[in-house]
Amino acid sequence: MLVAQVNFIFLRAIVTFAGVEDWRQQRFIDVGCGSGLFSLAAYKLGAKEVVSIDIDAASTACARYLHQLEGKPDNWQVFEGSVLDRTFVSMMRPGTFVYSWGVLHHTGSMWQAIRNVEELVAPQGILWVALYNQYRYSPAWLAIKQLYNRVPGPLQLSMRMTYACFSILMLIRRGRNPIRAIRDYPHASRGMSWWRDIEDWLGGLPYEYSRPDQVIDFVKKLGLTCVKMGMQ
């Protein structure tokens, strides 16, 4: 499983950056686990416990399939539920490493989601989240996404084609061969084709964004300290 191997390397790089050395003592909670590949990576890294959470039934089914392939280990559990559901969150035992990569800004209530996820972090634990950074064109992207989700199928196709042409022009401007770039698009790291990624981006709602200082101030009020931050 090439994707699983890439995610294993990616997660190991993240936890190295976070300063986690002994996985045998980690209770890893994967909030918005999706396919479960990062949960699988944490399990392979030797985590003491792994908990996979997602609101989407297809995602939890996929995570349970990976769990089954590993022999249904007792220290890996998969739950279906919403991080916005305080009752559901309160049922979870806190984790030492709570991980939510590119998820909370898609809940429709990002700040509440962050507040709820904070409750899953054990004392001295680590909360690792990836959120959309706010840029000057972020409001424009929100408007485009809202429009895309309102128009009929043929117009959606037109918008995807327009965005694809723009992407190809940007590749040419950067001196890259667009045919090669599309052919060699990183399926392993993105988990989808170039064209599917375009559809995913344009149709991706809810969509929220924030500035780093807003996130730092918010988590500080929750009793957390920002130790490290990276931006793209």
Domain total of the chain: 2
Residues 71 and 169 in one domain: no
| Per-residue confidence (pLDDT) for residue 178, from 0 to 100 | 92
Contact 198, 163 (CB under 8 A): yes
Q: Is the pLDDT of residue 26 over 70?
A: yes
Contact 95, 42 (CB under 8 A): no
Examine residue 230 and state whether it is found in any structural domain, yes or no. no
Average pLDDT over residues 35-42: 90
The domain in which residue 128 lies consists of 2-133+209-221
Contact 27, 96 (CB under 8 A): yes
| Per-residue confidence (pLDDT) for residue 41, from 0 to 100 | 87
Residues 27 and 104 in one domain: yes
Residues 80 and 183 in one domain: no
Distance CA 193, CA 199 (A): 10
Name the average pLDDT for the chain: 90
| Per-residue confidence (pLDDT) for residue 184, from 0 to 100 | 82
Distance CA 32, CA 200 (A): 16
Examine residue 9 and state whether it is found in any structural domain, yes or no. yes
Reported as a single tens digit per residue, the pLDDT across 181-228 is 898 886 545 667 899 999 999 999 999 999 999 999 999 999 999 888
Residues 84 and 148 in one domain: no
Examine residue 98 and state whether it is found in any structural domain, yes or no. yes
Reported as a single tens digit per residue, the pLDDT across 166-179 is 999 999 999 999 99
User: Which residues are within 8 A (CB) of 162 and not within 5 positions of it... i.e. 6 or more apart?
Assistant: none
Domain with 41 in it: what CATH number? 3.40.50.150
Distance CA 229, CA 218 (A): 14
Reported as a single tens digit per residue, the pLDDT across 80-125 is 999 999 999 999 999 999 999 999 999 999 999 999 999 999 999 9
